[in-house]
Amino acid sequence: MLYDQGQLLNVYLDAFLLTGDAEMLGATYDIANYLTTPALAAPNGGFYSSEDADSYHQQGDKEKHEGAFYVWSRKEFDAVIDNERDAALAAKFYNVKNHGNVSPEHDAHDELTNQNVLAIVSSPEVLAKEFNLPKEEVVKILKQVRKKLRAHRDQRPRPALDDKIVVGWNGLAIGALARTSSALAGVDDENATKYRNAAIKAVAFIKAELFDAKTGQMWRVYREGRGDAPAFADDYAFFIQGLMDLYEATWDDQYLEFAERLQST
C-alpha cells in the first residue's frame, strides 16, 4: 500500500546515503519508479492507495490467488530465463527453489505451494566465485534476467486497484520522492526531475481538489470526487512534512508558505 511505499522509499534512500550500497540504490529506484508510473500514479496527479494482494496468475484463470502477480514456480522461472547456467545463477541470487521457498506456516490457505517469492539472498561477488565468472559478467547476467522476468510478469493480469487518493499517504510519497530527487540531482538528472515533478503534480492536485483556501480546511480522501471526511491530524502532519521536503528540493517558497498555512490550521 502507498503508506508502506512512502516509508520504504525513505528507508532505502537513507540506507544508500549512509552506506553507498548499490543494492540500496537499486531498491530506491524500484520503489520510486513504482510510485511514479501506473498503476499507483494517478493521471491527474496524486497517488492511489494500493493494489490487491490477490490476482489471477495468467489470462483466462477463474480463481484469484494471493501474490499471484509476483510469485514464480521454478519451472516458469527457468523457462522465462531460457538458459540453464543463467537460470541456476539467478535462482541462487533470488532464493528460487524447486518446491518453492514459502514455509507452510506462512501459507495458511496453501496458495503458495511450489511458488517462490523472489528475495535477494546472495551477491554478485559470491556468485562470481561459485560460478567461476567475472563479477562484471554476473552483474550483466542478473540485469538480463531481471529484464526477462519483468517483461514476462507484465503480461500477467495486474491486481485490482484501490484508487482512493488519501492525503496523508500522499504526503509520505511526496516527501520521499522529493528527497530522492534531491539525492539524485547532478548524478541522474533525468530521474531526479521525474520524481520531483511527480511530487509537484501531487501537491497541485491535492491543493486544487482537497483544500479550501478560504478556511484552510483539507479533506482526507478523493475518489471520483472529494469525499466528505475532513482530514485527520496525520493527514496534516504527513502532508506538511512532504511540503517541507519538496521546498528543500525546489527552494520554491510556495511549498513552505502552504505548509505554514496548514500548520496554523
Q: Are 24 and 8 in contact (CB under 8 A)?
A: no
Q: How far apart are CA 160 and CA 56, in angstroms?
A: 10
Going from N- to C-terminal start, the domains of the chain cover: 1-52+160-265, 53-159
Phi/psi for 7 (5° steps) reads: -65, -45
Nearest Cα residue to 170 out of 212, 131, 200, 215: 200
pLDDT of residue 23: 85
Q: In Å, what is the CA distance from 212 to each residue of 3, 253, 255, 257?
A: 24, 19, 16, 15
Is the entire prediction scored with pTM above 0.85? Answer: yes
3-state class of 65 per DSSP?
strand
Distance of CA 74 to the CA centre of its chain: 25
The predicted-structure confidence for 188-203, as pLDDT tens digits, reads as follows 999 999 999 999 999 9
pLDDT of residue 108: 87
The DSSP bridge partners found for residue 87 are: none
pLDDT of residue 16: 96
CATH label, 1-52+160-265, candidates 1.10.10.1100, 1.20.1260.10, 1.20.1740.10, 1.50.10.10: 1.50.10.10
**Residue found under cell 498503476:** 39
pLDDT of residue 150: 95
pLDDT of residue 242: 98
Work out the number of other CB atoms within 10 angstroms of the CB of residue 100.
Answer: 19
Question: What's the chain's Rg over C-alpha atoms?
Answer: 21
The predicted-structure confidence for 46-103, as pLDDT tens digits, reads as follows 999 999 999 998 888 889 998 999 999 999 999 999 999 999 999 999 999 999 999 9
Q: How far apart are CA 223 and CA 265, in angstroms?
A: 24
pLDDT of residue 59: 87
In this structure, the strands spanning 50-51 and 165-166 are: unpaired
Q: Residues 24, 49, 58, 28: what is their CA dihedral angle, to the nearest 10 degrees?
A: -10
pLDDT of residue 109: 87
The one-digit pLDDT tens for each residue of the chain (265 residues) are 899 999 999 999 999 999 999 889 999 999 999 999 999 999 999 999 999 999 998 888 889 998 999 999 999 999 999 999 999 999 999 999 999 999 999 988 899 999 999 999 999 999 999 999 999 999 999 999 999 999 999 999 999 999 999 999 999 999 999 999 999 999 999 999 999 999 999 999 999 999 999 999 999 999 999 999 999 999 999 999 999 999 999 999 999 999 999 999 9
